[in-house]
Chains A and B, each alone.
Chain A
Amino acid sequence: GAGVSQSPSNKVTEKGKDVELRCDPISGHTALYWYRQRLGQGLEFLIYFQGNSAPDKSGLPSDRFSAERTGESVSTLTIQRTQQEDSAVYLCASSTRTGVNTEAFFGQGTRLTVV
C-alpha cells in the first residue's frame, strides 16, 4: 500500500474486554514501532520489531499488553482486560531499518476508548 495502515480507526470497548489493533507497514520496511498517545501527552514508546531480531518490549506498560509480528508483515497489538487508563490513540510506524537518519512513517492511529 501507499502508507502505513491501521485498523480499526476507532474502537470503543467495555472495561475488561480484550482488544486487538492491527498495523500494516509499508512493504519492505523491516522496522515496526508501536506508540501510545494519551490525550494531551506525547508519544509513549511501547514496542519495536526489527527484522528477525527479538522485539524490544521495554515500553509495554503491563503484562496485559502484547504484540506480534510475523516476518516483515502485519503486526497486532493486543490489550487484555482493558482498563479506562488504556484509552488513547495507538500509533504504528515503520521504517526501512532502525539506524542513522532513518525516517519513520506513521499510520493514522487507532483511537481506543474504554468505557
Chain B
Amino acid sequence: AQRVTQPEKLLSVFKGAPVELKCNYSYSGSPELFWYVQYSRQRLQLLLRHISRESIKGFTADLNKGETSFHLKKPFAQEEDSAMYYCALSTGRRALTFGSGTRLQVQP
C-alpha cells in the first residue's frame, strides 16, 4: 500500500529563517512526488513536482529514494509562504495519495 507521512502538523519560523517541511513515503515501486499548497481562502494548487527538478517561489524538494523522503526546503522564509503544505504521491495507477499536511507559519 502507498502511504505519505508528514510528521509535523505545525511549523513556525521567523521571517528569513530556513524552512524544511518533512515528507516520507512508502511505496515499493518508483513513485512520482508532488508538493501542493493551500493559501488562506484559496484552493489547493500544485507547488512543485520532483520530476521537474524545479525551484518554485524559492522552494526546492529532492527525492531521496534511499530514505524514501521528499522534504520541501527554502533557505529564507517569507511571510507570504504561510500556508498549508501537502506532500502527495502518484503511482500512475491510482489517485494521488496525500499526507496529512503541515501548516507553515512565518512570523515577522
On whether the beta carbons of A98 and B100 are closer than 8 Å, the reply is no
Which of B12-20, B42-50, B59-67, B70-78 is near enough to bind chain A?
B42-50
What's the least CB distance linking A34 to chain B, in Å? 9
- Asked whether A104 lies within 8 Å of B46 as measured between CB atoms, the reply is yes
Q: State how many residues of chain A have any CB contact under 8 Å with chain B.
A: 26
**Is A42 within 8 A of B98, CB to CB?**
yes
- B45:A106 contact, CB within 8 angstroms: yes
What does DSSP make chain A's interface, helix, strand, loop or mixed? loop
- Complex contact A103–B94 (CB within 8 A): no
Least distance between B48 CB and chain A CB atoms (Å): 10
Report if B108 contacts A (CB, 8 A): no
B95 is contacted by which of A3, A45, A101, A108 (Cβ under 8 Å)? Answer: A45
Q: Which B residues are within 8 Å of any A CB, using their own CB? A: 6, 9, 32, 34, 43-46, 49, 51-52, 86, 90, 92-101
| Interface residues of A, Cβ cutoff 8 Å to B | 3, 31, 33, 35, 40-43, 45, 48, 56, 59, 91, 93, 98-109
